[in-house]
Amino acid sequence: MSGQAAQEPKSAASKEQDIQATLEKYRQRRRQIEIEEQQRQQTQTLAVLAEDASLVNAGSGVFSAHGQFGTSSNSNSYNNNSSGRYAESREHAKLSSSSLSASKPPQDSLPLGLESAAEYIPARQRRMARLEQIRRSIHGAGSSEGIKESADYDESASYEANASEARHKDRHKDRYKDRYKDTHEENDEDGDGDGDGGALAAQKSAFPDRTQSKSLVDQIADLRKNHMLAERTAEEKLRDEENALLAAISRRRQLASAAELAQGVVYTQPMRTSWRLLPRHREMSAADAAKRRHMWGIVVDGEDIPPPLLTFRAMRFPKPLLDYLGTRGILTPSPIQMQGLPVALAGRDMIGIASTGTGKTLAFSLPLVMRALEEERRMPLVQGEGPIGLIVCPSRELARQTYEGLVAMSAALSESGEYPGLELRSVLAIGGISMQDQAHTLSRGIHMLVATPGRLKDMLARRTVNLDLCTYLCMDEADRMIDVGFEEDVRTIMSHFSRQRQTVLFSATMPKKIQDFARASLVKPVVVNVSRAGAANMDIIQEVEVVRSELRIAYLLECLQKTPPPVVIFAENKADVDDILEYLLLKQVEAVAIHGSKDQEEREYAMRSFRELRKDVLVATDVASKGLDFPEIKHVINFDLPREIENYTHRIGRTGRAGKTGVATTFVDLVTYSEHLLLDLKHLLLEARQRVPPALLAIPDPTDKYRKSDGTLDTSVGCQYCGGLGHRILDCPKLAQEQRAQQAAQRREINEGY
């Protein structure tokens, strides 16, 4: 025990001596570095001063002897004025002559006029001095006074720079000594002045911790965190680029009249109507309303939103309309009607998004009938007045279908006997029909007007109708209304409004760019979303067949055997529609066709005969894919894929309507279509939980990294321009095509100008 006790103090003393020796070595090394740095700086300073002194001293003699600069009086004056200032510099030059001896030439090689090697100036320095003096002469410093002032400035500046550097070094040494002294006193816990209060504290004072007391584990965690932030920042940069592109696309004028834009009229409050909720519904809490919306899969956005109502009677519709809905088999409202009808009846601007076949037409038609009924009972319309409400549709067939629904509801009110003498007049304004047939109705004043943009624009220009009393505007398939095809026509129509109106927009496919544009144009709008914009109806069984293009028409007969008629066949091109019709007629199939090149009489005959089930197959282009209601259709065949995935959603939406189940078969040729379109189709099938062909699954998908933990795709990263899930807006083919079309139009305008 005594031996161990004797060894312990010895080991502690040796350890302390090692620490003190290490500290002493560190101090000596620091002092040596400082001395070497000071000597190096001093040597450089003296060398510069010596060169300047020798240049000025020898320059005066050389220049005067050889007459290289002007007159000798100037050189002598310069020499006399400069000799006093550089006396101190010559003394320093003598001290540093040893450092410059290597650059001195032999004595016998000195130029004529120099008496010693110390006054020798190399030829290159003489040329530089001559150029410098010429430069000063040009800038007004050629006189002896100017040269003197310049030399004084250079000398004072050099002196101040050297003095500042010396003061900085002194402060640095004092600060280091003070810091070491303070640390030494803090570590001297035993008071003996040797600073041995702890080896670890002394070591920290001599070697400061540059990681700010962070362990290696913390530093590695910070590096990993920074790496994760870098990945997230890359995604944020991509989002920022997409948002900037979307903002540039949506940077257009609002849906406002020309007078409102010119006068700066901005409406801040929605319109008021006489419709009110029942007392029990007015007292419903926000939590109960949210629970009811969650039960029916309704998502809303906005301020002061009415609660969803589960029956038509709770919406306070008159009995004749309730009876009419009962005869049509519409006993309970659909989710879009539960929330959309109370919002529209309350006079609020609205954006309604729901899948195909869910009753959107009724959601905007019933509020218009109620508004027209209220205005007619308050004060009947006379000649030249009206309409009270306007519905704009993108196609003739959709406009006619909506018009027929309004006429049927108006007839139900007139024939009920509860409103004696009531007559709600509606007008259909579409291309291909003569307005002479409706001249009598127009002369008596109209309550409701259903029109396509082109014909309505023409009627407003001719003053056949006016929108002075119009307080209700609906755009069915609003994404097509505000899109490139009808945007200018819609703005022209909006310029004819003279008062505030309620605006409602409905569509099954409404990309984010249209929603943002609509939000900026409406007054405190309410967004009612029952399904993702662009999502397919879950009641449709989607089947994708990989077929080569030359075998499609022969495969049609086999597909027609899947379900009984009626069946709709869609094709992209008019020529394909004619070829399919001819092939089916040769095979003794009762079929009719419709596309844009057929006249209005042929189109109406085809639609009427197919609706009345006198024809089994309807072959059509995409003009028949928007909003047409055929509840009896069992099967939809896509002869080809449309150019845009949103048109695919509208096509297959002609079946599986009103809660019924339908089948949609699509022919796909992997060689013909782009990967973006095929990936959009693949994700649409996955979203609807449909079978995906192995050929589509084999396509490389760059969106796999955006999948959630359960394997489903994050729909927020889809294209915000067309609604496709297989690409992002920066790679959108629809946007690229529209940009190319705009550039081509601009080039044509430039060429026509020349």
- In angstroms, the Cα distances linking 533 to 299, 356, 537, 723 are 12, 11, 11, 7
Question: Dihedral, CA atoms, 567, 568, 571, 574, nearest 10 degrees?
Answer: 110
Residue range 127-148: mean pLDDT, rounded? 58
DSSP-derived 3-state class of residue 463: coil
13, pLDDT greater than 60:
yes
Tell me the angle at which helices 216-250 and 512-521 cross, rounded to the nearest 10 degrees: 70
What is the pLDDT at residue 71? Answer: 39
pLDDT at 417: 84
pLDDT of residue 216: 57
H or E stretch covering 472: strand 472-476
Quickly count: other Cβ atoms within 10 Å of residue 402's Cβ. Answer: 25
Is residue 141 a contact partner of residue 149, using CB atoms and an 8 Å limit?
yes
Task: Tell me the per-residue pLDDT of 505-542, one tens digit each, with 9 for 90 and over.
Answer: 998 877 776 777 777 778 899 999 887 766 777 889 99
The reported pLDDT for the residue numbered 190 is: 46
Same-fold call for 277-529 versus 540-740: yes
pLDDT for residue 334: 92
Q: What would be the CATH architecture of the domain defined by 540-740?
A: 3-Layer(aba) Sandwich (3.40)
Instruction: Give 342-401 pLDDT, tens digit per residue.
Output: 999 999 999 999 888 888 999 999 999 999 999 999 999 988 888 999 999 988 888 999
Choose the most confident range, by mean pLDDT, from 131-135, 302-306, 513-517, 684-688. 302-306
| Residue 337: predicted pLDDT | 95
The yes-or-no verdict on residue 112 having pLDDT over 70 is no
Q: Which residues contact 51 (CB under 8 A, 6 or more apart)?
A: 100, 125
Using alpha carbons, list the distances in angstroms from residue 240 to 60, 234, 721.
68, 10, 15
Helix and strand numbers, DSSP H then E, in the chain? 27, 14
Going edge to edge, which strands form the sheet with 426-429?
299-301, 526-529, 350-353, 502-507, 472-476, 389-392, 448-451, 426-429
Higher-pLDDT residue of 483 and 578 is: 578
Is residue 391 classed as helix, strand or coil in its secondary structure? strand
pLDDT of residue 141: 43
What pLDDT score does 425 carry? 93
d(CA 544, CA 637): 10
pLDDT tens string 438-461: 778 888 889 999 999 888 998 999
Q: Is 238 strand, coil or helix?
A: helix
> How do residues 596-627 score in pLDDT, each as one tens digit?
888 888 888 998 899 888 999 999 998 877 76
CB-side exposure of 58: number of CA atoms within 13 Å? 26
How do the residues of the chain divide into helix, strand and coil, expressed in percent and rounded to 5?
A: 55, 10, 35
pTM for the model stands at: 0.62
DSSP for 95-139, written as a single string: HTHHHHGGGPPPGGGPPTT--SGGG---HHHHHHHHHHHHHHHHT
The rounded distance, in Å, linking the Cα atoms of 476 and 409 is 19
Q: Which long-range contacts (CB under 8 A, 24 or more apart) does 606-615 make?
A: 607/397, 607/400, 610/566, 613/565, 613/566, 614/590, 615/566, 615/590, 615/591
Per-residue pLDDT, 287: 93
The residue that leads in pLDDT, 699 or 639, is 639
Neighbour tally for 505: CB within 10 Å? 28
At residue 313, the pLDDT reads 94
Instruction: Quick: pLDDT tens for 262-294.
Output: 677 788 889 889 999 999 999 999 999 999 999
The residues spanned by each domain of the chain are 17-190, 217-251, 277-529, 540-740
Whether 714 shows a pLDDT value over 50: the answer reads: yes
Residue 550 pLDDT > 80, yes or no? yes
Checking if the pLDDT of 90 tops 70, the result is no
Instruction: Give the per-residue pLDDT at 30.
Output: 79
pLDDT of residue 6 exceeding 50: no
β-strand pairing of 567-570 with 591-594: unpaired
Q: What is the mean pLDDT of residues 728-736?
A: 73
Average pLDDT over residues 80-85: 44
Q: Which of 309-318, 374-383, 469-478, 696-705 shows the lowest per-residue confidence on average (mean pLDDT)?
A: 696-705
Q: Is the pLDDT of residue 593 over 70?
A: yes
Mean pLDDT of the chain: 75
Under the banding of pLDDT at 50, 70 and 90, the label for residue 340 is: very high
Considering only residues 410 and 659, tell me which one the structure prediction assigns the higher pLDDT.
410
- Cis ω for the linkage preceding 564 (within 30 of 0): no
User: Which residues fall within 8 angstroms of residue 40, CB to CB, at 6 or more apart?
Assistant: none
Q: Which amino acid is at 467?
A: L
Query: What letter represents residue 371's amino acid?
Result: R
Tokens (6 digits) for 321: 């309309």
User: What is the token pair recorded at 138?
Assistant: 């040009």
pLDDT category at 543 given cuts 50, 70, 90 is very high
User: What per-residue confidence (pLDDT) applies to 749?
Assistant: 67
Q: What is the CA radius of gyration of the chain?
A: 45
**Could you tell me how many residues make up the chain?**
754
Q: Which amino acid is at 609?
A: S
Q: By C-alpha distance, which of 561, 523, 531, 541 is closest to 661?
A: 541
What pLDDT, on the 0 to 100 scale, is given for residue 50?
63
Nearest to 722 by CA among 679, 691, 666: 679
Residue ranges of the alpha helices (H) in 565-642? Answer: 574-586, 600-611
Nearest to 368 by CA among 399, 350, 391: 391
Superfamily of domain 277-529: P-loop containing nucleotide triphosphate hydrolases (3.40.50.300)
CA distance 469 to 453: 19
CA-CA distance, 370 to 389, in Å (whole number)? Answer: 10
pLDDT at 477: 84
Burial 608-635 (b: 16+ CB within 10 A, else e): eebbeeebbbbbbbbbbbbbbbbeebbb
**What is the arrangement of strands in the sheet containing 617-620, beginning at the earlier edge strand?**
540-546, 662-668, 635-638, 567-570, 617-620, 591-594
- Judge whether residue 77 has pLDDT over 60: no
- Residues 323 and 312: beta-carbon distance below 8 Å: no
pLDDT tier for residue 733 given thresholds of 50, 70 and 90: confident
Q: Report phi then psi at 412, rounded to 5.
A: -65, -40
Per the model's pLDDT, the better-predicted residue between 24 and 713 turns out to be 24
Average pLDDT over residues 185-195: 47
- pLDDT at residue 110 in the model: 43
Is pLDDT at 407 greater than 90 in this prediction? Answer: yes
Is the pLDDT assigned to residue 137 strictly greater than 80?
A: no
Cα distance between residue 223 and residue 182, in whole Å: 35
